[in-house]
Amino acid sequence: MGTPKAALEWHGSTLLRRTVGIVARAAGGPVVVVRARGQDLPELPAPVTVVDDPREGMGPVQGIAAGLAALAGQAESAFVTATDLPFLHPAFIRRVLRALDAPDGNAPDRPDVALPVVRGYPQPLAAAYRTGLAPLAERLVTGGRLRAAFLFAQCAVTRLDDARLLADPVLAALDPGLDSLLNVNTPQEYDEARRRPAPEVTVQLFGALVTAGRPAGPRPVRAATVRAAADAAGLPFDRQVTAALNGDQVTRDPEAPLAQGDTVAFRPVAGDKAGGPALGDPQAASGAMDHPICPVVT
């Protein structure tokens, strides 16, 4: 790319900031970012844990090992992704994580890895792993066996091809082309991706935010962040406003990322007679999922 991918601009935010936010939304919990030792990262939201690769230049399995190890005792499974998937959708992450919950075919036990294989290519950096695989991954790296295939050869893997992924009606509706797996490796690919329109989302306003110049909605807009959705609605997104994503995740972070099909409901911070969650409602803000913590590999 010629410049660090993590800091690439993405619709008013950065590529890493977007990836972190999408993963956090899908998993409902904190995120681990794995970086090269001393690597500068763009600003990240709290809570994000940053861990360093213990060795340089050892490839993605080293990053996977470091990320999974950081989750020891906190989660049984995790979604692992690279930073350069700008169209990663929460529905894709949830679909892949769910594949760890059921046996694969005739196998009596649940798999250790849910590995997307899309358009014929395995995607180890857009996959779900048992966190207990960390010691195995570390042993492979120590032994110089750096390819992800060496890890997969020693554990139970369920492979998710295009058809299996798109059997999920939610994913099929929101990401039918599986653009979640389109990465950017060159300036040309980045420019092409950046020229794509922002996600189409639905905006609604409630309470005192509805004025003559700001109809309640719902209405579709193009926006990649909460701030962009507020701008499209003619609404200053300041300390007096909160946003609820799809009715269950509350945020006041202007850079919180949006994905295709989202509904963003803006409300005054104090709530109003129309009801709905108020800022700080832990039940509304949790977005509780079965896999609460996910590492992001950079």
Among 144-158, 194-208, 219-233, 282-296, the minimum mean pLDDT is found in 282-296
Phi, psi torsion values for 197, nearest 5 degrees:
-65, 150
Domain locations along the chain: 5-192+291-297, 200-286
Of 237, 227, 228, 230, which is closest to residue 198 (Cα–Cα)? 228
Question: What is the token pair recorded at 209?
Answer: 């935010």
Domain 5-192+291-297 in CATH 3.60.90.10: no
The answer, yes or no, to whether residue 188 has pLDDT greater than 70, is yes
In terms of pLDDT, which residue wins out, 289 or 165? 165
The answer, yes or no, to whether residue 278 has pLDDT greater than 80, is no
At 68-115, the pLDDT tens digits run: 999 888 889 999 999 999 999 999 999 999 999 876 655 557 899 999
What confidence tier does 260 reach under pLDDT thresholds 50, 70, 90? Answer: very high
Dihedral of the alpha carbons of 196, 197, 199, 203, in degrees to the nearest 10: 170
Report the CATH fold assignment for 200-286: Ubiquitin-like (UB roll) (3.10.20)
The answer, yes or no, to whether residue 129 has pLDDT greater than 90, is yes
pLDDT of residue 108: 52
pLDDT of residue 57: 74
Determine which helix (DSSP H) or strand (DSSP E) holds 137, and give its type and residue range. helix 134-142
The answer, yes or no, to whether residue 242 has pLDDT greater than 70, is yes
What confidence tier does 233 reach under pLDDT thresholds 50, 70, 90? Answer: very high
The answer, yes or no, to whether residue 63 has pLDDT greater than 80, is yes
pLDDT of residue 295: 60
At 46-56, the pLDDT tens digits run: 889 999 988 77
Q: How far apart are CA 45 and CA 41, in angstroms?
A: 12
The answer, yes or no, to whether residue 220 has pLDDT greater than 70, is yes
The answer, yes or no, to whether residue 261 has pLDDT greater than 90, is yes
- HSE, side-chain direction, 13 A CA sphere, residue 174: 23
Asked if 270 and 287 touch (Cβ cutoff 8 Å), the reply is no
Q: Mean pLDDT over residues 265-290, rounded?
A: 48
pLDDT of residue 104: 64
